[in-house]
Each structure stands twice: as C-alpha cells, then as structure tokens.
Amino acid sequence: MDKIMRPVILLGYLLSPLPAIAITFLANPTAYGTMKGLLPMVLGAAAYTWLMAELVISARPKFIEKYFGLNQFYRFHALTAIGAIVLSFFHKQLEDAIWRDFIPLISNLGNYAFVIFVGLAGLSLFFMTGMLIRHIPFLAAIRQFLEKKRIVDFNLSILIHNFNILAILLVFLHVFILSAFYQKNIWICGIYTIYFAIAFAYYVYHKRVRISLEKLSPYRVVEVREESPNVHTLVLKRRMRSPKYKAGQFVFIRLLADGISSEEHPFSITSDPNDRSTLSVTIKSVGDYTSKIPALTTNASAIIDGPYGVLGNSVHRTRSELVLIAGGIGITPMISILKDLRHKDPKRRVILLWNVPTRAELIFQNQLAALARYMPNFTFIPILSRDKNFNGEKGRITYEKLARLLAHHRYQSRHAHFIICGPTRMMDSVIDSLRDLDVNKKRIHFENFSM
Ligand SMILES: Cc1cc2nc3c(=O)[nH]c(=O)nc-3n(C[C@H](O)[C@H](O)[C@H](O)COP(=O)(O)OP(=O)(O)OC[C@H]3O[C@@H](n4cnc5c(N)ncnc54)[C@H](O)[C@@H]3O)c2cc1C
C-alpha cells in the first residue's frame, strides 16, 4: 500500500497548483498567452499553492503521515517550504521586472510576506531541525550555547515558527485583492480563496478545535511510576478506550495540570497495543518540561494527539527476524514492540541490543524478564558504556561489536529488519555500521527523538 500511496501523494502535491494555473489562464488567455505573462503567473500560483500546503502539513495530517513517518514528513515540510520561497522569489523578480509600476499595495503585501517567510525559514532551519547544524559544527556550537543558556528553546522556536501564519495571511491578501479588486475575476478569486480556506480551516481545526474537543473527554493520569530516579512512566486512562495504535508509535501529550506547561511533547508509547484500557509513556527527565514529570500527581488531565510514526511497520508487515537496537531512553518504542510480539508472534526471533551508560539506566528489567519467559527466541544483550566492572558487553555499539554479536547469535544482516532508536549520534553510527554490513537501507528503520 505504501508503495502506491507515497507516489500518489507526492504526485497530488506536485500537481496541486494546476487548477489555479488553469483557471487563471482560461480567465484571461490573452494576458497569459505569452511567456512574459505566463511564467510569473505559473511561478506565483505554484508558490501560493505550496505555501498553503505547508499550513496543512504543519497540522500533521495523520492520513498522510502514516505513509511516511513524522521525521520524513517534517523533512519534506522543510524542503518544500524552501522550494516555495525560492519560487516566490523568482515570481517577485519577474513581476518587478515586467510591471515596474505595479500596484504598490499588492507588491508590498507580497514583499512583507516574503521577508517573514525567509526570516522564519532561517530560524526554523537553525533551531528546529538538524539539517544545518548537522553539517556545520560552528552553528551546532552556537545553538547548543543558546539552548544551554535558555535563551532559546524548542517551544519558543515553535512559537516563533507559528508567525508563518501571518505571512500566509499576507500572501492570501496579496492574491485576493489583486483578483477581486483589480482583475475583478470571480473564478480566479474563487480558486485561490478555496485553497486558502481549505488550508486555513485544517490548520485551525488541528490547533484549536481538536484540542477543545479532546478537552471534553481528557485522559487522566492514573499512575506515575518511578522506573529510575530520572525516568518515570505515566499511565493514562480515559472513559473510552485508547485509540488504536501500532507498537513503536508515539503520541504528542499535553498535560493540563498545575506546575507544568500545557505545551505538547512527543513520547513513544510503552504500553501493549493489545490492551487499550490504558496507555503509558515512559519519560526521561532531561529539561524544563520533563523534569516536572516526577512531581505530577494522579488525576492530572492530559490530551493526546496521535498515534504517529512508522518505526514498527516492519514488525507487523513481515515475518523476518528482528534486531532491535536502543540507546538510553530509546528503549521505549522497543518495549511496546516486544509486548506486541508476545501476543501476536511469540516465537519470532528477536534480539535486543541496549546501550546505556550504567546498570542504573537499565529500566524495565522485570518486564524484559517476563517477556523472555513467553518468547523463547528472544535474546536481550545489555551493553554498558561506562561500567568497567560489568560482566557482559561493554563500550559502545561499534561495527565490530555488531558484526560479532549478530554472527554469534546467528542473525543474518541481509534478512533481518533493524529497528533503531536512541541519541542522534549513536543512531548515525549504528546506521553507518549496518550499511558497512551490507544491510539494505529498506531494512533499517529508525526514530529520531529530536524533531
Ligand atoms: C518521536 C519522538 C518520540 C519520543 N519519545 C520519547 C520517549 O519515549 N521518552 C522520552 O523520555 N523522550 C522521548 N522523546 C524526547 C522528548 O520529547 C524530549 O526529551 C522532551 O520533549 C524534552 O522536553 P524538555 O523541555 O524537558 O527538554 P529540553 O531541554 O527543552 O529539550 C530537549 C530536546 O527535546 C526536544 N524537544 C523539546 N521540546 C519539544 C517539543 N515540544 N516537541 C518536540 N521535541 C521537543 C528538542 O530536540 C530539544 O532540543 C521523543 C521525541 C520524539 C521526537
């Protein structure tokens, strides 16, 4: 299904400006019959449509996300936004060159929108994605410094990012005033307004209406369980059963309680998808928000958006042996995958390699032991990076260690599916090792815990 739906969705996205282009052209074939008239219009229509699409994408439509996964979806969001801004730049250059004394109000609306888009795109690339900082260590150091000094954090970046809506409104006015008051064409005005209305309604639904509806039937925290001094599991329950989810997926949680911000944060689901009476997430205290989790009391309300993610798709869709590789709190999706397998395929060959600094971080020991009792072909190998006295695997997950452990436990790198979750650097290094082991990239699945 994915193989068909992904190209269909991409094609739909690429072709989405066509109705606007066709209607604008047909409304005035004389004006758009020459390259001089046609090109700026086509560029403008494509930029407009794809900027409106960004509004829909930013609302994380699940019916599209489920074919790509949120990481890939957000990368697409970043790249297509840059593409739309580049198109609007060329549209503006051509319009300025051709219509030197174009109506100032309309030009200015477009110009202001352009400046906002460019500014916010730069900030978002820097603060919200790893796309720039991954390749430029100097920028990575600046971001780390600003985050450490609490000058900027992820949620402030989201707040600033939301100003894009202002630029979208300006772009809409730019096109609306031109088509309604100067071109005076109801068809052109209508098609551009429809694009805007769909995108805007979807955005408002996601950001406001859905949250208000969810508040009518919120989840309640029924247990806050300490797994280790800085890792806690929240067990959540609501009147209706939890939504259907697949093992390995995650949700965005918004806690409505005193003493904690109501911003939403993503966490992988750690409960068993076969038992939807409760839903649990396990959270490591790393910053302002997560360090408030231990103080949370039962009965606090929560709103959940999800599930999202495609990390565990290969578990449900294939019968292949599985190699689960976790780093630190990256164990969370794995525990749900294992609980699910216990019900659906307990004889599956599964090996879990879990890299943590010390024994204190090895949470879920009882659950893993219980799973091992029901799953005869499950192997668990803890790998401790900072415990020299540990009587087992030590250090990090290197190429040599992976090759040795896989060979020893008779896992075939060409046939297994590999599911990886952990800190970005660890994941990058594991993925490189797997590629060196000739693992096909279609068999490597990973989830990045930083968006
Ligand atoms: C798909 C996914 C699944 C995750 N699953 C788990 C899990 O099961 N258990 C767990 O402990 N952690 C998980 N995380 C990480 C968790 O979301 C962050 O640790 C948490 O949001 C940090 O918030 P903070 O304010 O305490 O820390 P900060 O110090 O403010 O943030 C640390 C980092 O967390 C990320 N982050 C912060 N706020 C947000 C936000 N609102 N939305 C998205 N990312 C944010 C940013 O990359 C930031 O650099 C997951 C993250 C993602 C993307």
Element (H, E) at 379: strand 378-384
Q: From the CA of 100, how far away is ligand 1's center (Å)? A: 49
| Ligand 1 near 144 CB (within 6 A) | no
Q: What is the pLDDT, as a whole number, of residue 187?
A: 94
| For ligand 1, atom 34: residue with the closest CA | 450
Q: Which pLDDT band holds residue 451 (cuts at 50, 70, 90)?
A: low
Which residue among 147, 154, 268 is best mutated to probe the pocket of ligand 1, counting the most ligand atoms within 8 A of its Cβ? Answer: 154
Please check whether residue 254 is in contact with residue 238, taking contact to mean a CB–CB distance below 8 angstroms: no
Q: From the CA of 421, how far away is ligand 1's center (Å)? A: 13
Q: What is the pLDDT, as a whole number, of residue 397?
A: 95
Q: From the CA of 449, how far away is ligand 1's center (Å)? A: 6
Q: What is the pLDDT, as a whole number, of residue 407?
A: 95
Q: What is the pLDDT, as a whole number, of residue 408?
A: 96
Q: What is the pLDDT, as a whole number, of residue 101?
A: 67
Q: From the CA of 167, how far away is ligand 1's center (Å)? A: 28
CATH number for the region 313-448 comes to 3.40.50.80
The model's pLDDT over 154-189, given as tens digits with 9 standing for 90+, comes to: 888 888 899 999 999 999 999 999 999 988 999 999
The model's pLDDT over 380-436, given as tens digits with 9 standing for 90+, comes to: 999 999 988 899 999 999 999 999 999 999 998 889 999 999 998 899 999 999 999
| Ligand 1 near 331 CB (within 6 A) | no
| Ligand 1 near 294 CB (within 6 A) | no
C-alpha distance from residue 186 to each of 24, 109, 172, 177, 194 (Å): 10, 21, 15, 12, 12
The model's pLDDT over 213-251, given as tens digits with 9 standing for 90+, comes to: 988 889 999 999 999 999 999 999 998 877 899 999 999
The model's pLDDT over 46-104, given as tens digits with 9 standing for 90+, comes to: 999 999 999 999 899 999 999 999 988 888 999 999 999 999 999 999 988 886 667 88
The model's pLDDT over 258-309, given as tens digits with 9 standing for 90+, comes to: 999 999 999 999 999 999 999 999 999 998 899 999 999 998 999 999 899 9
The model's pLDDT over 348-383, given as tens digits with 9 standing for 90+, comes to: 999 999 999 999 999 999 999 999 999 999 999 999
Q: What is the pLDDT, as a whole number, of residue 114?
A: 95
**Do 218-308 and 313-448 share a fold?**
no
| Ligand 1 near 314 CB (within 6 A) | no
Treating both helix axes as pointing N-terminal to C-terminal, what angle do 186-204 and 35-58 enclose, rounded to 10 degrees? 20
Q: What is the pLDDT, as a whole number, of residue 143?
A: 83
Query: Considering the chain, what is the average pLDDT of its residues?
Result: 92
The domain spans of the chain are 2-215, 218-308, 313-448
Angstrom distance (rounded) from CA 24 to CA 187? 8
Q: From the CA of 290, how far away is ligand 1's center (Å)? A: 8
| Ligand 1 near 286 CB (within 6 A) | yes
Task: Among 2.70.70.10, 2.40.30.10, 3.40.50.1980, 2.30.30.100, name the CATH number for the domain at 218-308.
Answer: 2.40.30.10
Q: What is the pLDDT, as a whole number, of residue 100?
A: 67
Point out the least confidently predicted range of 145-154, 188-197, 216-225, 335-344: 145-154
* Atom number in ligand 1 closest to CA 284: 11
* Atom number in ligand 1 closest to CA 283: 11
Q: What is the pLDDT, as a whole number, of residue 142?
A: 86
The full DSSP string for 398-438 is -HHHHHHHHHHTT--TTT-EEEEEE-HHHHHHHHHHHHHTT
| Ligand 1 near 429 CB (within 6 A) | no
Looking up tokens 């859905």 gives 210
Write out the two tokens for 330: 């990256």
| Ligand 1 near 271 CB (within 6 A) | no
The model's pLDDT over 301-338, given as tens digits with 9 standing for 90+, comes to: 999 998 999 999 988 888 999 999 999 999 999 999 99
Q: From the CA of 249, how far away is ligand 1's center (Å)? A: 15
| For ligand 1, atom 32: residue with the closest CA | 287
Q: What is the pLDDT, as a whole number, of residue 148?
A: 82
Write out the two tokens for 291: 């360090």
Q: What is the pLDDT, as a whole number, of residue 135?
A: 79
Instruction: Please determine, for residue 37, whether its predicted confidence score (pLDDT) is greater than 90.
Output: no
| For ligand 1, atom 19: residue with the closest CA | 286
* Atom number in ligand 1 closest to CA 308: 1
Q: How far apart are the first and last CA of the chain?
A: 26
The model's pLDDT over 107-146, given as tens digits with 9 standing for 90+, comes to: 899 999 999 999 998 888 888 877 777 778 888 888 888 8
| Ligand 1 near 447 CB (within 6 A) | yes
* Atom number in ligand 1 closest to CA 264: 41
| For ligand 1, atom 2: residue with the closest CA | 449
Please check whether residue 138 is in contact with residue 181, taking contact to mean a CB–CB distance below 8 angstroms: no
Write out the two tokens for 188: 């052109």
